[in-house]
Amino acid sequence: DIQMTQSPSSLSASVGDRVTITCRASQYISTYLNWYQQKPGKAPKFLIYAASTLQSGVPSRFSGSGSGTDFTLTISSLEPEDYATYFCQQSYSAPYTFGQGTKLEIK
């Protein structure tokens, strides 16, 4: 199985801050990397696919980059509604696997 490792596991930031979350794959996955946002008690919401393509309706302050094994999710200017847990997911090969999550908290 391909292991996905996110860092940091948790992060405190203020509204307006620029935030970057990193996701590393244990082997090459090209750009088969997706990002999700999950708020407490809710299902994950799909944000980005193919490492950098925003799902329709996702605010442009979200961006993704990377290829191969190293990827990042960046929020350019935090809004109050962005406080959540973020997961990366590799879709290069089954079994599809997720990172352990990064919890973004209010500073």
CB of 79 to another protein, least distance (A): 22
Residues in touch with another protein (CB under 8 A) = 1, 32, 34, 36, 42-46, 49-50, 55, 87, 89, 91, 94-101
Burial code (b: 16+ CB inside 10 Å, e: under 16) for 69-82 equals bebbbebeebeeeb
Helix (H, G, I), strand (E, B) or coil at 13: strand
CA distance 45 to 16: 22
The dihedrals phi and psi of 57, each to the nearest 5 degrees, come to 95, -10
CB of 92 to another protein, least distance (A): 8
| Nearer residue to another protein within complex by CB, 42 or 60 | 42
| Nearer residue to another protein within complex by CB, 69 or 97 | 97
CB of 25 to another protein, least distance (A): 14
| Nearer residue to another protein within complex by CB, 45 or 61 | 45
Query: Are the beta carbons of 77 and 61 closer than 8 angstroms?
Result: yes
